A and B are shown apart, each in its own frame.
Chain A
């Protein structure tokens, strides 16, 4: 594999990383649960593509499995589960925000800047891969912050799951693009965990809906000082 292709791969990775970030912003800016899930599916799909690119570029074959899993679990399985949940309890719109959309977008921008500065500051410049790494790193840190931000500002239980998954996508992005994936078993285990987690949370959403006649977590406020 010669250097030019390597560069193009690197370029593509950056592009898709950017695309992932954009999807995250779109999640922040939208108000329909279905749309959230679709966006998340898209996001995971891009992530899968990044994985494939890593395979192409660096010949880490075991990542192939990781890529397939990503698309299978995150772009298909989890969105499917979540949309089933939505249909069952037919709640489709996110109405209540803690912070309105424009402000949230501004804040997310701020987070990107922070992430970027952090990513730059920690890497010593004389590393060969410093610029590339720092770009992707900043994207994934930003993703995590944004995911967390979504969880703190949106009030539907579903949205919180989406926010969580967004964070994890961020983590994965970094995992793929700066370390070219982890040992296979670890990858598989992680996927398994996430799947189970989502299932459990799905179950809880059902129970919450059953007990509280709503999935707005504002109703989950009986335990406090």
Chain B
């Protein structure tokens, strides 16, 4: 009973939190962008309706597609849920923090991406291949960039275990402000924009073949499959925002399971995520989508920033 309380319950709570929060954040971002464009925009709850609708709709499958096509949505969703169990949001240490560390998280994202890219090639449509090719190329730079960015935080804590990193950082707030840290943060921010398929790297809400990346891969998806893929990409956004906020500014995170602490932590987390979401929306609205072959330069910037952060950390010894 006790370990149900200490392990399973908090884990499930966190999972549910992310699951529930994800569409909302997207809704908020959408709304903000609409405002920037002087539009009314859909309500912030729109994504929930979409998901509910999609879950009930019938699925159209290409006759070319193989079992990879049918399994991938579940696999992607699963891996994202798994990540949701590993990334600290409200409370540290997480019950499952020993199961996987930051490298695991990144690799799990890679796993999802791997299969989505395969789906792009599975249906035999030119769009899919285009999307897969672009996605993997971009990933091949942002993935290392992300790792380096997080390693900077990791070495301060002397561990790649997320909970430990966060705990260490929150115990020494001074180190949040050191330059290496800030570099890493900006690196990770660019990574987030790219990973979650946002302007200036990708445009989530267009199907224009010249620009789209992520949408191109999942173009053949519909109904329930699409629902899960979309949902998991929304969760991905939340997770990244969580990483951004808690890896670098773990303010007000709950250090124990006491209700009060949890409330504070929850509030803090919500606030931080909202703020970051707003920032994302602002960036999206104030920037133009880059030409595809200018994107690598941007990503290289992220990579270099993170690398600098890491090396800087050593030179000045933090």
Direct contact of A and B (CB under 8 A): no
